[in-house]
Structure 1
Amino acid sequence: MEVNAKLSAYEGKDLEDATMYQQLVGSLIYLTLTRPDISFAVGVVSRYMQSPKKPHLEAVRRILRYVKGTINLGLLYKRGEECKLVGYCDANYAGDHDTRRSTTGYIFSLGSGAISWCSKRQPTVSLSTTKAEYRAAAMAGQEGGDV
């Protein structure tokens, strides 16, 4: 997906066959188990499984092109490297244009590789960027205590 892509449930032409879209997204969801780099993009396109539109299919095709182009890349944990636990979190205030909900994400890495990550739409609408960021920090802190 493009960095600033804005998908909406109401824009674009309906797909004639939603089954193909649903199968592609289902396969991408399965692929996220070994390809965490596509998790966010797949999460976004999976929101439109009920009634996919042409722009949603184009986004799925972009993800597939990305996967094809990065097929030989992977995570590498080197022996003897400094194993320092580092965590990052962020929130996209009102990033979902349909529901105005924020998206929260965090990642924890040990050494040079990610060991825990999450990208999730917040269950409630945040009224300010500060609240959205606070919720992101709370969610990351909760996970960080378990790592």
Structure 2
Amino acid sequence: MRPARRPATSAAFVGASWLCLFIGVLAFLAGLWNAEKMLQSEKGFYLAVMLLGLYAAVSLQKVVRDRLEGIPVSGLYYGLSWVALGAALALLATGLWNASLAPSEKGFYGMAFVLSLFAAVAVQKNVRDKAAEAAEAGGGPDTRPPGD
């Protein structure tokens, strides 16, 4: 018996996800660019934390979905994905806590970061859903594990 077919991902949700990702990342980067009180090393730190967070969020979304779909994922990679996301959140929180920024600036960076992570997960989900829809229709890459 085949599982029930999922409803197609709407173009509005896909567009909104991409828009939120661009808004979050561009706002974060614009904030770093215009920050006058921050040293270059601080700006580099926040940029590296943003990149780590985006990668970790997408990676975690992928391994969680792989497990739900029965695709083998090693426990080590699954755990590392959680640790990487937790580390990115902890590094940002610690960096902002110790930064000599106004509370409104700290809140701005925190919200732009969280928006970007959430949007990255939504974009990854949409990409995966579209690939699955194309595979079901017979017109795209097969995302099923070998042997199915």
TM-score (normalised: structure 1) = 0.29
Instruction: Give the helix-richer structure, 1 or 2.
Output: 2
Higher RCO structure, 1 or 2 (CA under 8 Å, sep 6+): 2
TM-score (normalised: structure 2) = 0.28
Instruction: Give the strand-richer structure, 1 or 2.
Output: 1
